[in-house]
Amino acid sequence: MGEVFLAFDRSIQQSVALKVVRDESRLPGDDEALRQEAVLARSVGHPNVCRVHDLAPSPWGPVLIMEHIAGQTLHTHIRRRKAHGGYKADEFRKIASEICGGLAAVHAAGLVHGDLKPGNVMVTDQRAIILDFGFAQERARAAGRRPGAPPDGGTPNYMSPERLRSGGASVQDDLYALALTLWEMWTCRVPEPGYKPRAKPMRQQIMFDVPASLSIDEVKQIFMGLSPHPEMRPAARHMRFFNPALLTTSPVQAPRERLNPGPPLGRGQTASFHPDVQGLLVTYATNNQDIVGELLPLDKPELSLGRQSSQDISLPEATVSGRHALVRWQQGTWVLEDKGSTNGSYADHDYERKERV
């Protein structure tokens, strides 16, 4: 959309970033749209959003005067962390929380970003900051785009399915881009490129990438953000990233206050059932996407799993047999025993049918 230069503003005695919108990329109405958006953007006073100072004319086109941030892009930050094995859980949570907070402030001001991605987030020693709003031209042009044409603005790798098909930037598209940005941080993998809807849903691509260091609730938020149904994506202001050690003794179990541990110990009673992992997260379903992201409690030592409603864990998914398997807590771990299901049970990145997992 433009070029960015470093300058020194003598009126405020500090360095600023100047973004020049190129003449060749402008259409009628773009200047007014940019002016209106700049006015609104100045009202976003949030530590995790780049401050917009002013919009000024110039011989080369409108110049957006913004806060200068000394740091590195999240894109570069991810590449460097990848070289050392990826992010530690608490560092991931801090950056993720700050990006969510910044985007929530943008949406609260009545704005959309339109080009959220790791390249448009700066990371300093103190904080993560969202910058480079790309929505003004994109929104001005969206109404005139022919169906099926590639979007003019934004970055296709981070666009939602509905925006890739025909739409313009929106709050729901921002939320999808947020989830993809968090996914890229978490896996250190770049989403597949393309100017058309993805052949393989993102939630299928990441089903084997769930890190043990994140809680089930944290993982679920990202899965929901990647839903093909816009109304299912959680708002940025509702996303929470927390250290589960503050709530429970295991980083991957559901908070124990959500489960009933049974009656207090008494004479003749055995110890309460307290497995390390107390929830089963549905990460992928071939036919029923509505169950993806569901957290199924593992609240007793043996549970039946299947499609029938009479099973302890009922999964309304065609590839699951009526009585598919038994899930047992044995010697400090959960074991799944296939009970002669039609389609079988698979695990450990292995596509061979297993009787016991």
> Quick check: 243 and 252 in contact, CB under 8 A?
no
Helix (H, G, I), strand (E, B) or coil at 81: helix
Helix (H, G, I), strand (E, B) or coil at 69: coil
Q: Which amino acid is at 39?
A: V
The label of the residue with tokens 């700049």 reads 38
With 0-12 CB in 10 A as exposed, 13-18 as middle and 19+ as buried, what is 32?
exposed
Retrieve residue 210's tokens.
């769930």
Q: Which helix (H) or strand (E) holds 80?
A: helix 74-82
Catalytic residue among 23, 31, 90, 115: 115
Active site residue 115: yes
CA distances, 61 to each of 1, 43, 58, 196, 271 (Å): 12, 23, 5, 32, 73
Dist. CA 104–CA 44, nearest whole Å? 10
Catalytic residues: 115
